[in-house]
Amino acid sequence: MKKIAVFTSGGDSPGMNACIRAVVRTGIYHGLDVYGIMSGYEGMINGDIIPLDSSSVSGIIQRGGTILKSARSKRFMTPEGRKQAYDNLKKHGIDGIVAIGGDGTFKGASVFMEEYPDVPFIGLPGTIDNDLIGTDFTIGYDTAINTVVEAVDKLRDTAASHDRLFFVEVMGKDAGFIALRSGVAVGAEAILVPETETHIDKLINLLDKGWRKNKKSSIIIVAEGDDEGGAYEIAAKVKEKFDHYDTRVTVLGHIQRGGNPTCSDRVLASKMGYEAVKALVEGRKSEMVGVVDKKVTYTPFENAIKHTTKLESSLLELAEILSM
């Protein structure tokens, strides 16, 4: 192996730049030429592949987003698009790929390697959702939940000042990891996630109990994929039957993806980037690098997909008890 490439794909997450930095410098340490593929699989198809050296990744460890840009590629879903991507990789002499992204990124890599097994891929979990099997935490998750906590702490101040009920919507179409952990951290009165069924009457009963105890402000954390709908829909349903509060809705949206990565995300991303290059050098492929119980793990792409990791039931119970 003489040349490797790294790219970021799907939604950006804080820590991706730290990961890119680690891949580049570890590759150089092992005597490899390192390239960056711009805009994920789309850049692979377009041949937008650039050489990276140590100075190319100076001063980026603290930056959010990704210097290599990110995009979703419909063309890569076609055999013709993958063939064009393969031709560009061979044109540049690329012997291995480090793919930073989520399950969509890994699914694309798996299909590609079935057709072109001579280009091995190693994956790194770059997603704020923390919804991949094979790692305790994904790159960007810690920063995202801290962003939520900071925002909700500020909302709590104004909620208390005006006796308001705030419904705060956080990211999580299919998984409630952001909602659950940040909800516990901010002392939310209720946390609504896709993994559990939401009962509006139960939520109203909880709010009513708080109201009778003279609790004049409350925070409800809602994952965007909750079965009863997003924050606006749920707030409307609650207000229809329970209008004691002055109700407000805040959707944090893509602010959760931005910002400087936390110390935890910088260290995790650096460690994973280092391990990914080692894995390629050792001849591994079709695996995602993760860290479980502080130990490096390798999970086949087909297993490292979302919808399979379960929420911590103890945290759900804890949130309910502490909201009393």
The two tokens of residue 101 are 């992204």
Contact 164, 246 (CB under 8 A): yes
Closest to 310 measured CA to CA, from 134, 177, 172, 198: 177
Q: What pairs with residue 126 in β-bridges? A: 139
* Phi and psi torsions of 293, nearest 5°: 50, 40
Q: Both ends of the chain: CA-CA distance in Å?
A: 59
**Quick one: which of 262, 265, 18 has its CA closest to 136?**
265
Give all strands (DSSP E) within the chain, no chain letters: 3-8, 33-37, 49-52, 96-101, 121-125, 164-170, 190-192, 218-223, 246-251, 287-292, 295-300
> Which of 239, 152, 238 minimizes the C-alpha distance to 202?
238
Is 129 among the catalytic positions? yes
Contacts of 263 (CB under 8 A, 6+ apart): none
**Short-list 184, 18, 19, 189, CA closest to 99:** 19
Candidates 103, 129, 131, 265; catalytic one: 129
* Pair 68, 6: CB distance under 8 Å: yes
Residues labelled catalytic: 129
